[in-house]
Chain A
Amino acid sequence: MGTYVPNTREEQQEMLREIGVHDLQELFHAIPREVCLDGPLKLPSGLPELSVYRKMSGLAGRNKVFQSIFRGAGAYRHYIPSIVKQITSKEEFVTAYTPYQAEISQGILQSIFEYQTMICELTGMDVSNASVYDGATAAAEAVIMCKERKRTKALVSETVHPETIQTIQTYCSGTDMEVILVPAKEGHTDMEALQQLLDEETASVLLQQPNYYGILEDAEPAGILTHEKDAKFIMACNPISLGLLKAPSEYGADIAVGEGQPLGIPLSYGGPYLGFMASTEKLMRRLPGRIVGETKDTRGERAFVLTLQAREQHIRREKASSNICSNQALCAMTAAVYLDAMGARGLRQAAESSMSKAHYLAGELCKLPGFALVYPGEFFHEFVTTCRGNVDKVLRALEDRGILGGYPLSGKDAGHLLWCATEMNTKEEMDTLVSILEEVTRA
């Protein structure tokens, strides 16, 4: 049996004596006998470290690590600089609690303050929180924070990531918020439909940029229409794209949210990731979760603290607008170190490279018979194509060659593939992909 209990049996006995009880069981006398477990838990016996390592490596070995990935759909493989991994595995950062004791937590607090600043810079917004769970919950929290007494409708574009939409629906179900989907037209948000749906009861409009299909939405008119009805405009953005493409603030967004995973966080089979949230100053007090602020200490030195805490659940209890307590602080630090290392130039390079490679790949793929772009319009680093032949068969053939191909869409998009390229994909790799596809789809 492995254990992390340091005290020896003898020490435990001594402690029991000092407490004045005969055995450990006496300490548990308050537990009524009828609920006590009558035998040991039916779990395997504990193991020494080497055995645990072997067992876990065995499980990891049952997953396939693809060397070549052309799939995104909400989780993106980008280069993670070595320094990011090193810094974020420092034990002090890993094992610290939420920085409630500011005097011994200046490191964490300052790192969050720097993170908040960088998120504000990326999005062009005034204030950022210290993170929420992921991009989907960030969008849901944004929708909730826009609710007003007389505005209870949330318009969400159908081109938003389906899992984000589902998360928003769960968050709003059972409350007086109504989620209404704005239909898509040729892979874009249908602006006419949006205009018709907007009314005096609309609290917010949510658009994703680039959208689920990789398409760049014409977000500016959407923002104008939204503001004409005094509703809030929420944009869910890919943070890498912001190195090159318009910031949410430039589209007039009131709130910017997004999945921060591309900023140095490994794919991790879906988590832990990072939900970022930033807003205009006007909405500052409605932002959920922790926020770090700058102040001075008793000696007049600069100091950082958790602030605006009276918004939060531990003070406001049932009147808090969100229940969030634990966030994704270490992932936020990861994003901050990534942005420090990349700088604006590096970020732009990652964005430009990703976009260029996706365009190269799209061009090459569409030379193949049966492959064509499904939607018109500009795209960033993802795009949707048709596929010749059986999608599953094509993808399996790629899988056999160590390639994770485009994501097979479902529902009304069934039969189409959502492709993604980033700076991780070389030209050679893309050419290989295309030649394999040519081979397996040859009639």
Chain B
Amino acid sequence: MKEYLYTKSHEWVQFLDEKTARIGISDYAQGELGDLVFINLPEVGDELVAGEEFADVESVKAVSNIYSPVTGTVRAINEELLDHPELVNADAAEAWFVEVGDIVGQVDLLTEDQYKAEL
């Protein structure tokens, strides 16, 4: 299984190869956010910039921005999340938000151990 790396803003990124990765949010983040009721995802073809917001998640009374760990182009979005945001609460590591290709940059990423130490 490919390694999960993390950002300080609680996103995870999983590189499928050098230029391609999936992005989601950490289990800690989903716990803090509580029951998610909707997820706004970008469109396929959108350019993401490392460190900048690309999606947001809604709980009943809050909206939180999700920041991209990498710079690249959205290849696919997890459409299942649009109808079933609860999947993020159920298994945050499985519930990827987007798949990004043509990656040309990234923010500082933490290993799982480093991330856990930060919490």
A residues whose Cβ falls under 8 Å from a Cβ of B: 285, 308-310, 315-316, 319
Q: Say yes or no: A315 contacts B61, CB within 8 Å.
A: yes
Q: Say yes or no: B38 contacts A309, CB within 8 Å.
A: no
Q: Say yes or no: B38 contacts A315, CB within 8 Å.
A: no
Looking at the assembled complex, report how far the CB atom of A225 sits from the nearest CB atom of chain B, in whole angstroms: 25
Q: A309-B61, A315-B62 are in contact. List 12 more A-B contacts (CB 8 A).
A: A285-B38, A308-B38, A310-B37, A310-B38, A310-B58, A310-B59, A310-B61, A310-B63, A315-B61, A315-B63, A316-B63, A319-B63
List chain B residues, Cβ under 8 A from A319. Answer: 63
Contact bitstring B43-77, A, C-beta under 8 A = 1, else 0: 00000000000000011111100000000000000
Q: Can you name 17 A-B residue pairings with CB atoms under 8 Å? A: A285-B38, A308-B38, A309-B60, A309-B61, A310-B37, A310-B38, A310-B58, A310-B59, A310-B60, A310-B61, A310-B62, A310-B63, A315-B61, A315-B62, A315-B63, A316-B63, A319-B63
Looking at the assembled complex, report how far the CB atom of A103 sits from the nearest CB atom of chain B, in whole angstroms: 16
B residues whose Cβ falls under 8 Å from a Cβ of A: 37-38, 58-63
Q: Which residue of B lies closest to A320 (CB)?
A: B63
Looking at the assembled complex, report how far the CB atom of A100 sits from the nearest CB atom of chain B, in whole angstroms: 11
A315 to B61, CA, bound (A): 7
List chain A residues, Cβ under 8 A from B58. Answer: 310
List chain B residues, Cβ under 8 A from A315. Answer: 61-63
A319 to B62, CA, bound (A): 12
List chain B residues, Cβ under 8 A from A316. Answer: 63
Looking at the assembled complex, report how far the CB atom of B39 sits from the nearest CB atom of chain A, in whole angstroms: 11
Q: Which residue of A lies closest to B62 (CB)?
A: A315
A315 to B60, CA, bound (A): 10
The secondary-structure label for the interface of chain A is: helix
Looking at the assembled complex, report how far the CB atom of A304 sits from the nearest CB atom of chain B, in whole angstroms: 15
A285 to B62, CA, bound (A): 15
Looking at the assembled complex, report how far the CB atom of A23 sits from the nearest CB atom of chain B, in whole angstroms: 42
A198 to B38, CA, bound (A): 33
A97 to B16, CA, bound (A): 53
A309 to B38, CA, bound (A): 11
Looking at the assembled complex, report how far the CB atom of A32 sits from the nearest CB atom of chain B, in whole angstroms: 37
Q: Which residue of A lies closest to B40 (CB)?
A: A285
Looking at the assembled complex, report how far the CB atom of A295 sits from the nearest CB atom of chain B, in whole angstroms: 11
A308 to B60, CA, bound (A): 7
List chain A residues, Cβ under 8 A from B62. Answer: 310, 315
A316 to B60, CA, bound (A): 12
A391 to B54, CA, bound (A): 60
Looking at the assembled complex, report how far the CB atom of A291 sits from the nearest CB atom of chain B, in whole angstroms: 13
List chain A residues, Cβ under 8 A from B37. Answer: 310
List chain B residues, Cβ under 8 A from A310. Answer: 37-38, 58-63
List chain A residues, Cβ under 8 A from B61. Answer: 309-310, 315
Looking at the assembled complex, report how far the CB atom of A311 sits from the nearest CB atom of chain B, in whole angstroms: 8
A424 to B96, CA, bound (A): 61
A308 to B62, CA, bound (A): 11
Q: Which residue of B lies closest to A317 (CB)?
A: B63
List chain B residues, Cβ under 8 A from A308. Answer: 38
A310 to B38, CA, bound (A): 9
Looking at the assembled complex, report how far the CB atom of A365 sits from the nearest CB atom of chain B, in whole angstroms: 55
Looking at the assembled complex, report how far the CB atom of A298 sits from the nearest CB atom of chain B, in whole angstroms: 15
A316 to B53, CA, bound (A): 14
List chain B residues, Cβ under 8 A from A309. Answer: 60-61
A310 to B61, CA, bound (A): 6
Looking at the assembled complex, report how far the CB atom of A325 sits from the nearest CB atom of chain B, in whole angstroms: 15
A316 to B37, CA, bound (A): 15
A316 to B38, CA, bound (A): 13
A439 to B71, CA, bound (A): 79
A205 to B118, CA, bound (A): 52
A308 to B37, CA, bound (A): 9
A309 to B60, CA, bound (A): 7
A309 to B59, CA, bound (A): 9
A309 to B62, CA, bound (A): 9
